[in-house]
Amino acid sequence: MGISLTELTVIFVVALVLFGPEQLPVLARSIGKLSGQLKRTSDSLRRELYNSVYPPGEDVQNALNGEFKALRALKAEVLSPPTGSVGSSSRPATPSAEPHESPPEARPEPDPPQARSA
């Protein structure tokens, strides 16, 4: 969406007719100064916005990354196979595919039948 050479020529001719050849350099100078001031102001606003949004956002992101790192370490610790000799057995840590019965001493005893009152 730029200005073509034809449009620029028309703008220059209209400005020359309206302001005259004496005032045209003064007008161009003041437009240039205004344009520079506008650019400096917009850069300042952009910098201010950046400084107010990004550093606090980075602090939050760093805090979250630290928490994620701690959670990943905890997950790795929980999912890692147990090590050590205490309570170790030759049985695999994963449950077998075969159904098994509990030992007889661990089975609950059935309740004795209750007599019906007639």
- State the pTM of this model: 0.41
Alpha helices in the chain (DSSP H): 5-79
Q: Which of 94, 62, 63 minimizes the C-alpha distance to 79?
A: 94
pLDDT in tens, the chain (118 residues): 688 999 989 988 998 899 888 998 998 899 999 999 999 999 999 999 888 877 778 888 888 999 999 999 998 888 888 776 555 555 555 555 555 555 555 555 666 666 555 4
**Amino acid found at 101:** E
> In the numeric block, which tokens belong to residue 38?
């506008």
Burial 70-84 (b: 16+ CB within 10 A, else e): eeeeeeeeeeeeeee
Residue boundaries of the structural domains of the chain: 5-79
